[in-house]
Structure 1
Amino acid sequence: MSANVNAPRKNQSTGWYWATSLLGICGLVLGLAVVWVNIERLDLAYELKQLQTELERKNDLQAKLEVERMNLLSSSRLRALAEENGLRQAEPGRIRLLSP
């Protein structure tokens, strides 16, 4: 009779052992997942910072190039270049328009 009484207790303790082991493994997997997600988040944050820096640099370059373009196309500069090269304003009647 004592053998029958001990048998269910052995099964119960085995069940608790497996449940505890399964919970421990699940906790370990979830902990590793949290660490992996945090590492990925940091990598994305660094990449985002690099992209923002590159975007700012390109925007600054675009603004500088736009200023340079406006300077090169300014009417006073073009007039001075035309005078240097012996060009002058066309006289009346010298310009002919072609009809389509």
Structure 2
Amino acid sequence: MSRKVIKISIALILFAGLLGSSINRTQAYPAFLRQAAKYGAKNCLFCHKNAEGGEGWNERGQWLIAEKERRKAESIDPAWLSEYKEPEKAEKPEKKEGDKP
């Protein structure tokens, strides 16, 4: 084989590896999203701070991580979301007569 064919073959193998790893990353947890949909999830923002998922979790995501540790589980189970309680939002104080808007 010529050097040119070897170089092209190596480049194609590297490209295929990069392509394969990026596809795997973007579709890493579609099963989680399908299971979490039962509890209102429409996208990764249900538990993550970023639309793409990955690191950075909102309160629900942090709760799931804490549950994993509490249960000494190997991985997070989206079914635990059935036990999640939304934090109560602070109530706005009632306006009194003469208060500015």
TM more than 0.5? no
Instruction: Select the structure with the greater relative contact order (CA < 8 A; seq sep ≥ 6).
Output: 2
Select the structure that is richer in helix: 1
Class of the TM-score when normalised by the shorter of the 2 chains: 0.3 to 0.5
TM-score calculated relative to the size of structure 1: 0.34
TM-score calculated relative to the size of structure 2: 0.34
Larger-gyration structure (1/2): 1
